[in-house]
A and B are shown apart, each in its own frame.
Chain A
Amino acid sequence: MPTVSVKRDLLFKALGWTYTDEEFDELCFEFGLELDEITSEKEIISKEQGNEKAEGASDVVLYKIDVPANRYDLLCLEGLVRGFQVFKERIKSPVYKRVMPNGEIQKLIITEETAKIRPYAVAAVLRNIKFTKDRYDSFMELQEKLHQNICRKRALVAIGTHDLDTLSGPFTYTAKRPSDIKFKPLNKTKEYTACELMNIYKTDNHLKHYLHIIENKPLYPVIYDSNGVILSMPPIINGNHSKITVNTKNVFIECTGTDFTKAKIVLDVIVTMFSEYCENQFMVEAAEVVFPNGKSYTFPELAYRKEIVRADLINKKVGIRETPENIAKLLTRMCLKSEVIGDGNQIEIEIPPTRADIIHACDIVEDAAIAYGYNNIQMTLPKTYTIANQFPLNKLTELLRHDMAAAGFTEVLTFALCSQEDIADKLGLDISATEAVHISNPKTAEFQVARTTLLPGLLKTIAANRKMPLPLKLFEISDIVVKDSSRDVGARNYRHLCAVYYNKNPGFEIIHGLLDRVMQLLNVPPGEKKGGYVIKASEGPAFFPGRCAEIFARGQSIGKLGVLHPDVITKFELTMPCSSLEINIEPFL
């Protein structure tokens, strides 16, 4: 969930209203936002870097507001204010318009070299804009928020904004060999080739995260003006030449990317938010983009879409009984201009270019519910009549674990993920013999594999509890995972029961007695006949030679019991003899 930080006083000034922190928190809650923190620049710096560094920093109060991940229209002060003002019916939702310039339209020509790396580009112009320090900061911050969220850290879309008066169109968006790209990047005083820049930015805390997007490509994306001035090398850095300042009057915006839909949304969001400060408010100057196939498109799209939804559908989905007129009013408060049409039950809703999150009638239903107030909705119970059933495997597990505790064993809860070492080396096995599933991206060795046996978790629990009085009698009934090509995903769980006895003596007879008790509980008689159970001398690398038996029940092998091998005991950092039992309980369903 993105967090937007805005200056409180600036926000209240724009709202023309002053709230207490509690009132504003309440307003946010109702609107689906969360006032996450009330802080200041000074407080933030002092928290992160200590009081000394915070000396002299601004103590203007900041509101940090959590915004839903799909509401790109609320990622800046301008959007938040507009959203609240329309919600409170203090203003009407603005109408955003694309207009043709008086002179020649700005053109961006895409060459085919971009196809393999970053094929899409869109552009627009904000004409006669008036920045102030706060507006400029907000403009930059919005781009950053978009980059981090919908742009997926610039991988899908990257934004470049330029002082149009320093450039001369038409512009060319192409891709070149890094060694052939040379320019003075933003906030640098000399020129570098793209290769040099990629090296320099390896140590840049902000930019280093984006380098991987193009690093290993033969050609890098780059945008030139008609004089060969480089506007930007997306998605890494803009040129210094066209850098915008507080005094910039005309802004050229380009968005390049791999996702055309998102590039268009990003452009729409930027221009709808900041055309507020243009001489002609909410008017955005069009730009033409020519694609390699020769087709040309005009941007920004600023498309308004109409949806027709029946009022009773909204009433039915929310569980309210409002007139169509009232519902239209509710929706209008959410920046979805609506009116009742047709037979008087149809509502026509206009979805503005700011609301890319509205993709289905259900999104409209939600907005009606928000405007109505979630907490005003009457709670009712559905009449759905059903008979409950337990999942048989869990039912058996629940019954067994209670009787395991009654038999004197204590339940533990261990992790399903562990290291290869835990399930293989430490048990004297080769990892290939385990049929374990392997995780491709573990952050640490603790998450290399899913466990194939519950035993390591129990032994690790003992190791962490060596100070406890002996004997330790532990059990766990939970799932293990192994590869299985007969399953759709190629792996499956098995429900295992594992128990250990840890004391000064191995206590095989105690673990054996527990097996006898479990079989008694499962109504499995001793003996090989009539679906009974029997244990047979066996061996296994985890067990002391001659102290291991395989358990057969209902004609199949279900597990092993025995005295653990001293090597196993040592590898789990234990010092006492230990016997264990592990069986698959699924045959007893």
Chain B
Amino acid sequence: MADGPVAEVLLRQLEAADGGLDSADLAAKLGVDHQAVVGAVKSLQALGEIIEAELRSTKRWELTAEGEEMAREGSHEARVFRSIPQEGLAQSELMRLPSGKVGFSKAMSNKWIRVDKSAADGPRVFRVVDSVEDEVHRRLQLVQGGQVEKLGEKERSELRKRKLLTEVTLKTYWVSKGSAFSTSISKQETELSPEMISSGSWRDRPFKPYNFLAHGVLPDGGHLHPLLKVRTQFRQIFLEMGFTEMPTDNFIESSFWNFDALFQPQQHPARDQHDTFFLRDPAEALQLPMDYVHRVKRTHSQGGYGSQGYKYTWKLEEARKNLLRTHTTSASARALYRLAQKKPFTPAKYFSIDRVFRNETLDATHLAEFHQIEGVVADHGLTLGHLMGILREFFTKLGITQLRFKPAYNPYTEPSMEVFSYHQGLKKWVEVGNSGLFRPEMLLPMGLPENVSVIAWGLSLERPTMIKYGINNIRELVGHKVNLQMVYDGPLCRLDAEPGPPQTQGAA
């Protein structure tokens, strides 16, 4: 490519030249097309620092094809004049000449010729003067001779209006020696090949340098969803802490397990149509553990186990109503009930991460379904201090170390505490979870021993993920409207690592 004859000549000329040379001049000198010189310049440039080339543009007047013809043959009007004999020429005949039409009107306006319309066989053209000075021809020859500057502005524009002259921009290179200038060049190799390795030729060959600023080609693999990558990490944390995963593969739950078993009264606002998705089909649970149901009923309506109860009329039909579970605590209740049936009691640590459903008004941070993370520990003699200690360990694994606890109210835990962490970015305490000791009114009807306490905490999977990745709209994270590019580009989920700069995907 670069070892073409033009490139070699260029280098030799450049070696002899003082300072540099112009590509157009060289083309003229060599009698080759300018584009051939430009090609040679570009291929030499690609070799590195052999030459330097600066792009220049110059403006030049050039004759058009018609202009060149006229410079050669004379102007149309002069040619018309010359073609008219002394005795004149029929106008119709004159018009058939190649320069006829344009030449006729120009010669007329120059008053070189006249028309006699009264002639017997149609209009006839006669010379008016004996000889003419073909000024246009002279000027065009000046241009052709490279002496365009001898023409005045007015004369140039007249020629241009007649489309005989045109101004062109010429791009040329000013070529000078580069820092690695040499007249002998050899082709650089782009890549190492098996042949070079076997022949050893790689030792003597120069290799084209890589552009390390260019991007690589991304691998063609699949990607995991960012929220589910976070889910994997939360599972990992619980497993590291010795927690067993509870089955949560039942989105449909009865009101009994979702509310009544948790000592959540039947008039509680969460049981309202506005907050919970109830089912039309299957509308009611088919089976409930009736022994246990009766103990729950008694605890709600009359109290017992040291409780005053809520003192209202508890209705079985309300407990039978099927719904989409509003929290995974229903699954925890089932797990604790199973645990209570095992005698003797064995301590347990449980966790779950799965979907829950709320018939809520949707906004940028609320969807009708989200993932709840829940941890549960059941053992003799657990305290609030234990709950706080476990929460500290759990949140430390998430990279959250500054915690404080606020008294709170949950229908099924007492004492209850909300967990706040100091958010460096927002410069304030934000709620990161909710926790407490399950109420005895929930545990004792299940059949758990009286001195067994159960501590529990919960948080959503989406919220810490949104904070972690700087996502403001939950729809950019969950559901079918997510941008797959976000999934493709997602980093590893390392909860305990320092957060990187938040990735902001274009907000909807």
Residues of A within 8 A of B (CB): 1, 29-32, 34, 68-71, 152, 156, 259-262, 316-320, 359-363, 365-366, 369-370, 374-375, 377-382, 384-391, 393-394, 398, 401-402, 404-417, 437-443, 446-447, 450, 457-458, 460-461, 463-465, 468, 472-475, 479, 481, 483, 485, 487-493, 495
> Are B369's CB and A489's CB within 8 A?
no
Residues of B265-281 at the interface with A, using a CB-CB cut-off of 8 Å, are 267, 269, 273, 277-281
> Are A491's CB and B252's CB within 8 A?
yes
> Are A415's CB and B487's CB within 8 A?
no
Query: Knowing A388-B239, A412-B487 touch, does A406 contact B222 (C-beta < 8 A)?
Result: yes
Give the distance in Å from the alpha carbon of A468 to the alpha carbon of B488 in the complex: 11
A394 contacts which chain B residues (CB < 8 A)? 235, 245
> Are B384's CB and A317's CB within 8 A?
yes
Interface presence of B467 (CB below 8 A): no
With A317-B453, A379-B389, A406-B221 already in contact, 12 other A-B pairs whose C-beta atoms are closer than 8 Å? A1-B409, A32-B409, A259-B312, A360-B307, A360-B441, A384-B382, A386-B242, A410-B224, A413-B482, A443-B361, A483-B281, A490-B282
Give the distance in Å from the alpha carbon of A41 to the alpha carbon of B284 in the complex: 47
> Are B379's CB and A382's CB within 8 A?
yes
Residue of A1, A415, A463 most packed against chain B (CB within 10 A): A415
Give the distance in Å from the alpha carbon of A365 to the alpha carbon of B303 in the complex: 18
Residues of B398-426 at the interface with A, using a CB-CB cut-off of 8 Å, are 404-409, 414-417
A461 contacts which chain B residues (CB < 8 A)? 480, 482, 484
> Are B359's CB and A410's CB within 8 A?
no
Give the distance in Å from the alpha carbon of A468 to the alpha carbon of B486 in the complex: 11
> Are A493's CB and B249's CB within 8 A?
yes
> Are B277's CB and A441's CB within 8 A?
yes
Residue of B267, B383, B416 most packed against chain A (CB within 10 A): B383
- Write the nearest CB–CB distance from B369 to chain A, whole angstroms: 6
Query: Knowing A406-B222, A413-B225 touch, does A316 contact B245 (C-beta < 8 A)?
Result: no
A-B contact pairs, 30 of them (CB 8 A): A32-B407, A319-B386, A359-B307, A360-B439, A370-B407, A374-B384, A374-B388, A374-B417, A375-B405, A380-B386, A381-B390, A382-B377, A390-B235, A390-B244, A398-B232, A405-B223, A408-B220, A408-B222, A411-B224, A412-B482, A412-B487, A415-B480, A441-B277, A446-B368, A479-B249, A481-B251, A490-B284, A490-B286, A491-B279, A493-B250
A473 contacts which chain B residues (CB < 8 A)? 222
B223 contacts which chain A residues (CB < 8 A)? 405, 410-411
State the 10 A-B residue pairs at the shortest beta-carbon distance, nearest first: A319-B385, A32-B407, A319-B383, A490-B282, A68-B409, A366-B415, A460-B480, A440-B280, A405-B222, A391-B245
> Are B243's CB and A388's CB within 8 A?
yes
> Are B252's CB and A481's CB within 8 A?
yes
Interface presence of B459 (CB below 8 A): no
Give the distance in Å from the alpha carbon of A370 to the alpha carbon of B379 in the complex: 23
Query: Knowing A261-B311, A440-B283 touch, does A479 contact B244 (C-beta < 8 A)?
Result: no
Residues of B284-329 at the interface with A, using a CB-CB cut-off of 8 Å, are 284-288, 303, 305-312, 322, 324
> Are A483's CB and B282's CB within 8 A?
yes
Of the candidates A34, A359, A447, A472, the one whose C-beta lies within 8 Å of that of B308 is A359
A412 contacts which chain B residues (CB < 8 A)? 225, 480, 482, 484, 487
B303 contacts which chain A residues (CB < 8 A)? 359
Per-residue A-contact encoding for B442-461, CB less than 8 Å = 1, 0 else: 00000000000100000000
Give the distance in Å from the alpha carbon of A549 to the alpha carbon of B309 in the complex: 58
- Write the nearest CB–CB distance from A465 to chain B, whole angstroms: 5
B359 contacts which chain A residues (CB < 8 A)? 441-443, 447
Interface presence of B146 (CB below 8 A): no
A413 contacts which chain B residues (CB < 8 A)? 225, 227-228, 478-479, 482
A472 contacts which chain B residues (CB < 8 A)? 484
- Write the nearest CB–CB distance from B317 to chain A, whole angstroms: 14
Give the distance in Å from the alpha carbon of A362 to the alpha carbon of B368 in the complex: 33
A262 contacts which chain B residues (CB < 8 A)? 312
Q: For residue A401, which residue of chain B has the nearest CB? A: B224
- Write the nearest CB–CB distance from B241 to chain A, whole angstroms: 8
B453 contacts which chain A residues (CB < 8 A)? 317
- Write the nearest CB–CB distance from B491 to chain A, whole angstroms: 15
> Are B251's CB and A479's CB within 8 A?
yes
Give the distance in Å from the alpha carbon of A474 to the alpha carbon of B225 in the complex: 11
Interface presence of B355 (CB below 8 A): yes
Give the distance in Å from the alpha carbon of A32 to the alpha carbon of B406 in the complex: 6
> Are A464's CB and B389's CB within 8 A?
no
> Are A381's CB and B308's CB within 8 A?
no
Give the distance in Å from the alpha carbon of A474 to the alpha carbon of B488 in the complex: 11
Of the candidates A69, A387, A393, A457, the one whose C-beta lies within 8 Å of that of B480 is A457
Query: Knowing A156-B267, A489-B322 touch, does A369 contact B386 (C-beta < 8 A)?
Result: no
> Are B324's CB and A450's CB within 8 A?
yes
A379 contacts which chain B residues (CB < 8 A)? 385, 388-389, 392
- Write the nearest CB–CB distance from A360 to chain B, whole angstroms: 4
Inter-chain contact count A-B, CB under 8 Å? 292
- Write the nearest CB–CB distance from A210 to chain B, whole angstroms: 15
Give the distance in Å from the alpha carbon of A392 to the alpha carbon of B308 in the complex: 41
> Are B222's CB and A411's CB within 8 A?
yes
- Write the nearest CB–CB distance from B168 to chain A, whole angstroms: 43
A318 contacts which chain B residues (CB < 8 A)? 383-385, 415
> Are A489's CB and B250's CB within 8 A?
yes
Give the distance in Å from the alpha carbon of A285 to the alpha carbon of B487 in the complex: 68
A385 contacts which chain B residues (CB < 8 A)? 242, 347
Give the distance in Å from the alpha carbon of A481 to the alpha carbon of B249 in the complex: 9
A468 contacts which chain B residues (CB < 8 A)? 484-485
B287 contacts which chain A residues (CB < 8 A)? 488
Q: For residue B481, which residue of chain A has the nearest CB? A: A464
> Are A382's CB and B283's CB within 8 A?
no
Give the distance in Å from the alpha carbon of A411 to the alpha carbon of B484 in the complex: 9
- Write the nearest CB–CB distance from B313 to chain A, whole angstroms: 9
> Are A437's CB and B309's CB within 8 A?
no
- Write the nearest CB–CB distance from A135 to chain B, whole angstroms: 28
Give the distance in Å from the alpha carbon of A34 to the alpha carbon of B308 in the complex: 28
Give the distance in Å from the alpha carbon of A29 to the alpha carbon of B430 in the complex: 12
Q: For residue A475, which residue of chain B has the nearest CB? A: B222
Give the distance in Å from the alpha carbon of A388 to the alpha carbon of B279 in the complex: 35
A408 contacts which chain B residues (CB < 8 A)? 220-222
- Write the nearest CB–CB distance from A536 to chain B, whole angstroms: 28
- Write the nearest CB–CB distance from A263 to chain B, whole angstroms: 11
A458 contacts which chain B residues (CB < 8 A)? 480
Interface presence of B238 (CB below 8 A): yes
Interface presence of B159 (CB below 8 A): no
Residues of B363-399 at the interface with A, using a CB-CB cut-off of 8 Å, are 367-369, 377, 379, 381-386, 388-390, 392-393
Q: For residue B246, which residue of chain A has the nearest CB? A: A391
Interface presence of B74 (CB below 8 A): no
Q: For residue A451, which residue of chain B has the nearest CB? A: B251
A374 contacts which chain B residues (CB < 8 A)? 384, 388, 404-407, 417
Q: For residue A29, which residue of chain B has the nearest CB? A: B406
Give the distance in Å from the alpha carbon of A571 to the alpha carbon of B441 in the complex: 52
> Are B381's CB and A316's CB within 8 A?
yes
- Write the nearest CB–CB distance from B377 to chain A, whole angstroms: 6
Of the candidates B239, B355, B382, the one whose C-beta lies within 8 Å of that of A416 is B355
> Are B415's CB and A365's CB within 8 A?
yes
A382 contacts which chain B residues (CB < 8 A)? 377, 379, 382, 386, 389-390
Query: Knowing A441-B273, A450-B251 touch, does A375 contact B379 (C-beta < 8 A)?
Result: no
> Are A410's CB and B252's CB within 8 A?
no
Interface presence of B349 (CB below 8 A): yes
Q: For residue B253, which residue of chain A has the nearest CB? A: A489
Q: For residue B309, which residue of chain A has the nearest CB? A: A359
> Are A489's CB and B390's CB within 8 A?
no
Q: For residue A440, which residue of chain B has the nearest CB? A: B280
Q: For residue B367, which residue of chain A has the nearest CB? A: A415
Interface presence of B437 (CB below 8 A): yes
Of the candidates B235, B388, B408, the one whose C-beta lies within 8 Å of that of A68 is B408
> Are A317's CB and B383's CB within 8 A?
yes
> Are B480's CB and A414's CB within 8 A?
yes
A320 contacts which chain B residues (CB < 8 A)? 385
Q: For residue A378, which residue of chain B has the nearest CB? A: B385
